[in-house]
Structure 1
Amino acid sequence: MYEFAEIGLAVRTRRSDMGLSQARVAELCGLSSVTVYQLENGSIDALNWADAVRLLSVLGLNIHVSNPRSTKRQREGRTPALEVAARSASTSYKQILPAEDLRTALLTATYPKDFTPHVRTFLDEAHASQIADVVEQLHHETGVQRIELWQRMRDMARAGHTTRDFWL
């Protein structure tokens, strides 16, 4: 089926960008390694909807149904992912993490002096799709390869002793 081939390609690309093995992804979403392998290689016959959604969610992907009539927000453009991420990471803190500080931290793989807890919160708690949106923005703005950005975040997460499964 064409849909499985498209989903499989997206899964393989994102998994590879994140530096995860098929076995690790299977473990994180409760599927067999064979299922992930078959999906990525287009040889899967069927996949339960709940399993597909769980797999995509682990990788920060989703199934999108387009609205035939664009919303005002879509027409005017969205808030850049880095700004949204910086605000989200600042929710529990008095001081607000500037998007530029988050950008610098993620591009250099170093925690900013006054905002270490904020960046840890982003790495530990942001939805995978939000992290993926930040990776996409940084990739397009700087030309840094996606896999490098994911690896930098993984290094930061490990150095910051975060507990999120896909950083381990």
Structure 2
Amino acid sequence: MHEFAAIGLAARTRRSDIGLTQDRVADLCGLSPVIVEKLENGSIGELNWAHAVRLLSMLGLSVHVSNPRPTRRQQEGRIPALEVAARSASTSYKENLSTEDLRTALLTATYPKNFAPHVRAFLDEAHVSQIADVVEQLHHEIGVNRTEVWRHMRSMARAAGTARDIWL
């Protein structure tokens, strides 16, 4: 089952980057810890598709089927994840969180007090895949350790009292 090995490796890598244990992921997905462990180490023989999708979604991952004939627009540069995240976090607020302010917050776990609601909105409401895209962008642009960015986000989320399960 080559597909399960790829899913397991992706799940283990993302879970580790986020800083979650296998038991915590199992709890969040409603799976047994044994299933998560077997999936991650490639020894699972079968996995219910709904369980796999739920596990991947919780970690901000998905099974993706690429467009066999992408349009030019799809191929052209997309808006950077950090920019999309800053815009999304600012939607309900008069003052906009800049891309640089969000970048600084994620790299240092500090931000101006006036942007606390924006940062909380990002950490509480952004889809995990969007958060993961931001982590990847920072990693590729400046070489920051992914785990460090996830750790900073967890620290900020706890300080802000967010209710999202992945930060607990």
TM-score tier, shorter chain, comes to over 0.9
TM-score by length of 1: 0.97
Q: Does 1:12 align with 2:12?
A: yes
CA RMSD of aligned residues (A): 0.9
Q: Within 1, Cα distance between the matches of 2:31 and 2:151?
A: 24
Aligned to 1:93: 93
- What is the CA–CA distance in structure 2 between the aligned matches of 1:158 and 1:113, rounded to whole Å? 15
Q: Deviations over 1:97-117 (max 9, x none)?
A: 111110011111012232110
Q: Which amino acid aligns with 1:107?
A: L
Q: Is the 8 A contact 1:111 1:156 kept in 2?
A: no
Structure 1 position 74, deviation (Å): 2.4
1:43 aligns with 2:22: no
Identity %: 76
- Counterpart CA distance in 2 for 1:85 and 1:64 is 21
Distance in 2 separating the partners of 1:111 and 1:72:
38
Which residue does 1:122 correspond to in 2? 122
The SS at the match of 2:8 is helix
Are 1:58 and 2:58 counterparts?
A: yes
Query: Which sections of structure 2, spanning at least 5 residues, go unmatched?
Result: none
Query: Alpha-carbon deviation of 1:93?
Result: 1.0
List runs of 5+ in structure 1 lacking aligned partners.
none
Distance in 2, Cα, partners of 1:132 & 1:166:
12
| Residue aligning to 2:155 | 155
The letter of the residue matching 2:130 is Q
* 1:44 positional shift: 0.6
The answer (yes or no) to whether the contact 2:101–2:111 under 8 Å persists in 1 is no
- Aligned pair count reads 168
Tell me if 1:111 matches 2:111. Answer: yes
| Residues 14-52 of structure 1, C-alpha deviations (whole Å, 9 max, x = no match) | 000001000000001110000000000111111111111
Q: TM-score, normalised by structure 2?
A: 0.97
- Tell me if the contact between 2:89 and 2:119 (Cα under 8 Å) persists in the aligned partners: yes
**Structure 1 residue 78 displacement after superposition:** 0.8
The answer to whether the 8 Å contact 1:158/1:167 transfers is yes
Residues 5 and 42, structure 2, Cα contact 8 Å, conserved in 1? yes
